[in-house]
Structure 1
Amino acid sequence: MPHITLVRHGQANTEARDEVSYDRLSDLGHQQARWLGDHMTKTGDRFERVYTGTMTRHLETAQSMGATDHATIVQDPRLNEFAYFTLSHLMEEQHGLKVPQEREGFIEHLPRVLGAWQDDAIQGAPESYQDFAARVSAAMSDIADGQGRALVVTSGGLIGTVLRQTLNLDVQGWSQMCLAIMNTSVHRWQMVLGNPLLVQFNAIPHLEAPDRHTAQTHL
């Protein structure tokens, strides 16, 4: 049966406040990806197909994982993240919602932004939620129709949206999933009778050793 593994990119530029500046891995992000690639090699986790978005952090993660050693990468813009920095700035300008300066603040911030985006309440959004959700669904459907085990290296918001579509989550549940997803975490789906079945969420076996606990990051 078709088997799809989604991996979130490694830690990116945590000091960024815009889409372009964020789109590169930190030194730790490269190391997280190397550790994941080594773990997959040791456990015999091989993929016949490898997909990424077209963002720099996606491709850098796949390369540091060594994913290009056994398969040709297919870059698909439908696997790109939504523009959260841009949406946040528009929310602040239009609705007075301040962008948090610490991770805890995003627990309330993220569902408000995503809810407004879903309801078309953010003017000038670079992409509507409906268009984003449709492209994610179409990309996953096309990957599921392929032959052999597939690896998809992408972003947390996209993975969270696949989870939303799989589990029929509301905005609050969707936000909680997005916030929980860690850098280089592993998520697996199997297609059963044409339907996606979630079989693994947010696994980080390559970061579980005590000396790697500080490498468990969300941003």
Structure 2
Amino acid sequence: MPHITLVRHGQANTEARDEISYDRLSELGHQQARWLGAHMDSTGDRFQRVYCGTLTRHIETATSMGAEKHAEIIQDPRLNEFTYFTLSQLMEEQHGLAVPAEREGFVEHLPAVLGAWERGEIEGAPESYIDFETRVREAMTDIAKGEGRALVVTSGGLIGMVLRQTLSLDVGGWSKMCLAIMNTSVHRWQMVLDQPLLVQFNGVPHLEMPERHNAQTHL
């Protein structure tokens, strides 16, 4: 039975306000990834296939996890995140929706941006919503066809899209999933009768001991 594990990258540059500046792990992000890799080693979690996007934070996370010990890391641009910073800037310029300064503000900001993107109301978007949705679906379909257990290191928005496709979520539900997803969290699917079945969401067993609670991050 095909089994796919998706991991969100470690904490990135939290001070960034654009795609390029955000795309590198913080020191904590590297540590989160090392802890996850060590946890998988200690529990005997083994993978016959390893994939990640082509973004720096994906590659750094997979490397800090030691994912190459399982299999050669295959980089696939279809596993890259959508350009949230750019979409937010365009949304502010075209519709006057300011980017929040605090995390709480994204509870309303994220669904507004994603909804406008889905409806085609953001002009000049680097990628259309339908192109993003399609490449995610195609990437996951191709991975599901492979032999053996697969590890995929990617981003929260993409994991959220897989959840949306699996659970038939609306934009509001997709946004809530994205906001909940923690850095280096683990999400697992099994394919049953060619259909993806979610069996684990947002697991961070490598960060659950008291001395690591402050390493449970969302940004």
What's the secondary structure of 2:161's corresponding residue? helix
Note the C-alpha offset of 1:187: 0.1
Equivalent residue for 1:3?
A: 3
Q: Which runs of 4+ in 1 moved over 6 A?
A: none
Partners of 2:169 and 2:20 lie apart in 1 by 30
**Counterpart of 1:194?**
194
Aligned equivalent of 1:138: 138
Q: Secondary structure at the match of 2:44?
A: coil
Report deviation, 1:70: 2.4
Shift of 1:69: 1.7
Q: Encode CA deviations 1:63-85: one digit per residue, 9 max, x unaligned.
A: 00000122100000000000000
Give yes or no for the alignment of 1:46 onto 2:43. no
Q: Higher mean Cα deviation, 64-73 or 174-183?
A: 64-73
Q: 1:107-126, aligned counterparts within 5 Å?
A: 107-126=107-126
Residue correspondence of structure 1 range 83-102 to structure 2 within 5 A: 83-102=83-102
Structure 2 spans left out of the alignment, 5+ residues: none
Deviation at 1:23, TM superposition (A): 0.3
Query: Helix, strand or coil for the counterpart of 1:152?
Result: strand
The residue type paired with residue 94 of structure 2 is Q
Identity of aligned residues (%): 80
Letter in 2 for 1:16: A
SS of equivalent to 2:190: strand
* Counterpart-to-counterpart distance in 2, 1:195 and 1:63: 30
Cα shift at 1:32: 0.1
Deviates more, 1:170-179 or 1:66-75: 66-75
**Cα deviation code 1:3-49 (max 9, x no counterpart):** 00000000000000000000000000000000000000000001000
Provide the rounded CA distance (Å) in 1 between the counterparts of 2:168 and 2:142.
20
Give, in whole Å, the separation in 1 of the partners of 2:215 and 2:41.
Answer: 20
In 1: Cα distance, 2:71 partner to 2:170 partner: 36
> What is the CA deviation profile of residues 90-142 of structure 1, one whole-angstrom value per residue up to 9, with x for unaligned ones?
00000000000110000000000000000000000000000000000000000
**Paired residue type of 1:153:** V
The residue that corresponds to 2:165 in the other structure is 165
* Deviations, residues 156-215 of structure 1 (Å, cap 9, x unaligned): 000000000000000000000000000000000000000000000000000000000000
Counterpart of 1:36 in structure 2 is 36
The residue aligned with 1:217 is 217
Match of 1:208 in 2: 208
Match in the other structure for 2:21: 21
Q: TM-score, normalised by structure 2?
A: 1.00
User: How far, CA to CA, are the matches of 2:57 and 2:48 in structure 1?
Assistant: 22
Quick one: distance in 2 between partners of 1:208 and 1:118? 36
Unaligned segments of structure 1, at least 5 residues = none
The reply on whether 1:156 has 2:165 as its aligned counterpart is no
Task: Return the alpha-carbon distance in structure 1 between the equivalents of residues 142 and 53 of structure 2.
Answer: 14
